[in-house]
Structure 1
Amino acid sequence: MRKLLILPVALLLFSCEDVIDIEVKDGKQQLVVDAWLTDEPREQQVTLTLSQAYFNQESPQPALGAEVYVVREDSTRFRFTDTDNDGIYTYNPRNRNFLRLNERVVLYIRYNSEEYYSVSQLKRVPVIDSLKYQAITLPIKPADSPKSGYLAQFFANDFEGEGDTYLVRSYKNDVLRERSNEYTLSYDGGLSPGSKSDGMLFLQPVRMGINSGLFVDKDKVTVELHSIPLDAYYFLSQVQSQTNNGGIFATPPANIPSNVFNLDPESAEKPLGLFFVSKVTRYTAIIDKNNVKSED
């Protein structure tokens, strides 16, 4: 009886091959803000583009002719200019006093007679104490990395006091791992709220999230630890969820709520995107086979 029941179910699952045409209408263009600033004395960028149709594979259209400012609590303004006319508005700070620890800053944008704003706060970030690596041989060779090599991990301690949120990024031979599944988000040194890791050494899954396959001898490994505000933590978490969302039970993609707003709450022009500021610490090491901890 079991075989008789399984066969019709199997036929039902594998015989549904009808093509369904879905009509997708283009939505209204919206301003998209990509503004991630750090306290470093290097060029800072605010990228403004316009949203486009879901199936449009072309590069986004830049939003040109905008006025862009970052304003500190003491009313000091920093103007970002689009010198290359490509929608990338830049400012070159002379020193780290451009952004100040624990101070809130405002992003102000005027575009097509509409005014937009966002508020972020520069939070503390711990120092990365060290980076260590160990030799390992995998049972099966991965398609994009060697079978034998090295796994790395960084060491840093979360500050005492709940609510510190971080973004961990890494570079291999100066190439940034920038896909959504290649950066790690951390809440109080753990992977999520409720991990009870406040004030402790970052948990191992966070420390080892810098690996993409195995490193080899003489590889250069750089780790960046960024402080991020809580709204950026949840925004980037949703980016990861939607980017890695797949399978027959995947949820439909949707615009992630923005922390950029129109000064006129009654306006029909609603922006997309994110603005946040970060302090950042880095640590770089070169893999040396003569100075390696062997696998257990």
Structure 2
Amino acid sequence: MKNILLILLSVFAFACETEITPKLNAPAEILVVDAWVNQKMEPQKIRITRSQPYFEQSIPQKVPGAHVMIEDLNSGEIYEFQEEAESYFWYPTDQPFGQVGHQYRLTVTVDGQEFEAFSKMGRVPPIDSIIFHYNPKDMIVKQDYYTAEFVASDPAGAGDTYWIKAWRNGVFLGNPGELNMAYDAGFSAGQPVDGQEFIIPLRRDFMNPYDPHPDKTNEFLPPYEVGDSLSVEIHSLDHLAFDFLYGLYFQIARPGGFAELFSMPLANTSTNIFSVGDEDTPVTGFFNTSAVSSRGLKLSEELANAALEEN
């Protein structure tokens, strides 16, 4: 029995240390539609590409010659997306894209094959403020530092879903572990937090990254120092988009190593895009329309001193 255990342990140790490069059959290409459209006064982009082999390292290239449009099913307004070198774009002039509460239909035609998707633009609450808090040095950060949070309240009426985004010094906090989504003012349906202020983890945790110190082991850089800035946006999601992002998170945030044996199997995430007239034509990606609220603040000397006094 003892010898058997030693053999098994040796096999597992060898498996954890050996890197293999399996040869896989080339998979069939699948059309991918990446259509996340919002109300910001900036160019709206829809990417039309095709899937690639799992180990492919290059950036997917645009599928040329597609016809891409979005129709407002309430007002009848048409938004035509024009093909450019990188993707397909629509440019706002005096008004942003869409209206809250309206239903939208995306139509993509590629090589005579038509694809459709639907999305309803939900509401978002305003961001009331951004606050910086003073923190004395501790075992992790060996200097006085500041953390940040935003303050906003979910509007009354259950069922609102959001994607909360943040930029520190203009850099998007977009790692898988920083994906921050809310169902009403909490994490998921069923929590009694409708119409309340967003719970603290949603308001604070993801926007205070502790980056490892480049020169000191087991020490981290402060999330914010005087002169740093924070920008926060709340994007509305429809419920299918909320589920899609959670599925995407579990596919991207892989544990790696031996723990990968017990994690969720790799698979395509759900999609709300379908082929018109030919249900057997594979397609993936997602279409969502978002209203957006935003706010930004720079940590000045005055704000830092005020946070210190309040501590």
**Fold-level match, TM-score > 0.5?**
yes
Q: How does 1:11-90 map to 2 (within 5 A)?
A: 12-16=8-12, 17=14, 22-73=22-73, 74-84=75-85, 86=86, 88-90=87-89
The alignment of Structure 1 onto Structure 2 pairs a total of residues equal to: 286
TM-fit CA distance, 1:138: 5.5
TM-fit CA distance, 1:97: 5.6
SS across alignment from 1:236? helix
Match in the other structure for 2:281: 269
Alpha-carbon RMSD across the aligned residues, in angstroms, is: 2.2
Quick one: distance in 1 between partners of 2:114 and 2:209? Answer: 42
Quick one: distance in 2 between partners of 1:278 and 1:173? Answer: 24
The aligned amino acid for 2:273 is: V
Instruction: Indicate which of 217, 220, 224 corresponds to 1:215.
Output: 224
My pick for the range that moved more, 14-23 or 242-251, is 14-23
Instruction: Show CA shifts across 1:77-134 (max 9, x none).
Output: 11101122x3x10011223363011000111000011100110011110000011121
Instruction: Normalising by structure 2, report the TM-score.
Output: 0.85
Sequence identity percentage: 28
Quick one: distance in 1 between partners of 2:121 and 2:26? Answer: 37
TM-fit CA distance, 1:291: 2.2
The aligned amino acid for 1:115 is: E
TM-fit CA distance, 1:10: 6.4
Instruction: Indicate which of 163, 167, 175 corresponds to 2:171.
Output: 175
Match in the other structure for 1:279: 291
Q: How does 1:147-166 map to 2 (within 5 A)?
A: 147-166=143-162
Quick one: distance in 2 between partners of 1:26 and 1:75? Answer: 43
The question of whether the paired residues in 2 share the 8 Å contact of 1:140 and 1:147 is answered with: no
Quick one: distance in 2 between partners of 1:190 and 1:293? Answer: 29
Quick one: distance in 1 between partners of 2:100 and 2:150? Answer: 24
Quick one: distance in 2 between partners of 1:10 and 1:188? Answer: 52
The question of whether the paired residues in 2 share the 8 Å contact of 1:40 and 1:95 is answered with: no
Quick one: distance in 2 between partners of 1:251 and 1:129? Answer: 38
TM-fit CA distance, 1:139: 3.6
**Cα 1:230/1:138, change in 2 over 3 Å:** farther
SS across alignment from 1:129? strand
Quick one: distance in 2 between partners of 1:83 and 1:180? Answer: 29
- Please, which runs of 5 or more residues in structure 2 have no aligned partner? 211-222
- Please, which runs of 5 or more residues in structure 1 have no aligned partner? none
Q: How does 1:176-255 map to 2 (within 5 A)?
A: 176-208=172-204, 209-213=206-210, 214-246=223-255, 247-248=259-260, 249-255=262-268
Quick one: distance in 2 between partners of 1:211 and 1:225? Answer: 17
Quick one: distance in 2 between partners of 1:128 and 1:255? Answer: 34
Quick one: distance in 2 between partners of 1:10 and 1:171? Answer: 50
Instruction: Normalising by structure 1, report the TM-score.
Output: 0.89
The aligned amino acid for 2:299 is: I
TM-fit CA distance, 1:11: 5.8
Quick one: distance in 2 between partners of 1:21 and 1:220? Answer: 43
Instruction: Indicate which of 262, 269, 275 corresponds to 1:256.
Output: 269
The aligned amino acid for 1:56 is: E
TM-fit CA distance, 1:295: 8.6
The question of whether the paired residues in 1 share the 8 Å contact of 2:157 and 2:194 is answered with: yes
Quick one: distance in 2 between partners of 1:13 and 1:251? Answer: 24
The aligned amino acid for 1:40 is: K
The aligned amino acid for 2:284 is: L
My pick for the range that moved more, 18-27 or 271-280, is 18-27
**Cα 1:21/1:131, change in 2 over 3 Å:** closer
**Cα 1:148/1:237, change in 2 over 3 Å:** farther
Match in the other structure for 1:291: 306
